[in-house]
Structure 1
Amino acid sequence: MTNRDYQVGDAILVPWGLDLVQGTVVGAYGEGLGLRVLVEVDLGDGNTEVLPFPARALEATQQPGGHSPPGAWVQASRYEENLARELSRILHTQIQEWAGTVEVNAQLGQNREIDLLVHLPDRLLLVEAKHYTDSHRSLNTSTLNQMREYLRNQYNPPAVALIVTNAKVYPQAATHAEKYRESGVPLWVATWHEGDTTTELEMALAEALRFSIPG
């Protein structure tokens, strides 16, 4: 449930990963955990687009803290959708018997969502997509720590996780993930851009599929 009501015409901040974008409430639908707030977002080129947001995802973003450039949320959303298609393509290649789909903005329990979720024959694949409008940004190790907390939950089947970003993954973040794996936490990071052919994503995904999960 949301702690506030969203009225048509309200100016609010819209979350996407580490980005906050200004938007205007234009409507809502659903109720309870299914409530979606419709927000009109400036695409930055004179056009706007109306996008649905879970009300609970808006609660923590309504304090001023800096805005992302117009269109940042939309770019991140499109990156996530393209990544979902690429993951599906790779998985169908690497697991011939798999006939599933990649879920976008999937629910993990009552209070958590994951950008992409895949049900595989023997494990869950949790994927967090991090798109940055600033080409000089790099993946923050705090994102890895947050994903580790997701993996501490008990899932059936057990879960492995990927963090995929359009930014460069510097050695600090890669080493951080490697140390997690050495301690039994199945977490990988990879850089991926639309149009990539042979990618870090394919290699990281292959390792995640082979990883021997304790228990």
Structure 2
Amino acid sequence: MSDHTYDIGQQVSVPRGLDVVPGVVEGVYGGEGRSEQVVVRIGLEGEESETITVPARILDRARKIKEDHRPGAWLTAYQYEQALAATLATILQSLEVEFRQVRQPVPPDQGVDVAFITPEKIVVVEAKYLTRETLGGEKYLDRLAEHVNRADAEGSGSLSGLLVTNAKVSPRLTSQARRARNMGNSLWVARWAPGDPEGELVDTVRQALTFKVER
């Protein structure tokens, strides 16, 4: 249930896209707790104002996120995938690589969210958005490896798998990816979140594109 009382005229923070925006309470109705709804007028700079109705518990969470000052904190797994795909496309453009983007190239349970097809390489990407601090489960990389190995049955190295997460990557997972590359499997892990510098992700993408199997 909501842990805060909302009054008409009160300034609040409201989820919008990958962040939160300011708004003003114009009305409150419903019972206390989860059923309470808050009518809020929002308007970003340069935009006309808009009135929306938001559950009070959502405003509670947005207020806490705003207090944390974490860019992109209001994020769902789907929004993370969208933001990551757009960022990867921008990186490929900056590297002057021709590519074609394919969203969800395989069924959702196969561990691939987006693929980038270039003249020399196909990079399949799994985006893993977590609320916990560290990504340490080998199962995510194992699943991606299965897809890469199945698609690149000849072991030509024409396919690279990239696992990207907003969480800290555990040393164990980094070592697992390194061992896979030593065995000729182009698997990579990187951390990225909206608002982060893109240096690590750019370096990882560049390596995934240029990886060659040692014969």
Identify the TM-score tier after normalising by the shorter chain. 0.5 to 0.7
**3-state secondary structure, aligned to 2:113:** strand
Residues 179 and 155 from structure 1, CA distance in 2 versus in 1: closer, same or farther, beyond 3 angstroms? closer
**3-state secondary structure, aligned to 2:169:** coil
Q: Which amino acid aligns with 1:118?
A: F
1:12-60 CA deviation, whole Å, 9 max, x = no partner? xxxxxxxxxxxxxxxxxxxxxxxxxxxxxx9x728xxxxxxxxxxxxxx
State the 1:103 CA deviation.
Answer: 2.3
Measure the CA separation in 1 of the matches of 2:167 and 2:206. 21
State the 1:129 CA deviation.
Answer: 0.3
Selected match of 1:45 from 20, 41, 58: 58
State the 1:214 CA deviation.
Answer: 6.1
Q: Which amino acid aligns with 2:92?
A: L
State the 1:88 CA deviation.
Answer: 0.2
TM-score, scaled relative to structure 1? 0.59
Q: Which amino acid aligns with 1:204?
A: T
Selected match of 1:142 from 139, 156, 171: 139
Summarize the alignment of residues 187-198 of structure 1 with structure 2, pairs less than 5 Å apart: 187-198=187-198
Measure the CA separation in 1 of the matches of 2:151 and 2:135. 30
Measure the CA separation in 2 of the matches of 1:163 and 1:126. 9
1:166-195 CA deviation, whole Å, 9 max, x = no partner? 010121110111011011010000000101
Calculate percent identity across the aligned residue pairs: 28
Cross-structure match for 1:114: 112
State the 1:132 CA deviation.
Answer: 0.5
Question: What is the count of residue pairs matched by the alignment?
Answer: 145
Cross-structure match for 1:34: none
State the 1:112 CA deviation.
Answer: 4.1
Is 1:177–1:188's contact at 8 Å kept on the other side of the alignment? Answer: yes
Is 1:87–1:102's contact at 8 Å kept on the other side of the alignment? Answer: no
**3-state secondary structure, aligned to 2:80:** helix
Residues 113 and 188 from structure 1, CA distance in 2 versus in 1: closer, same or farther, beyond 3 angstroms? closer
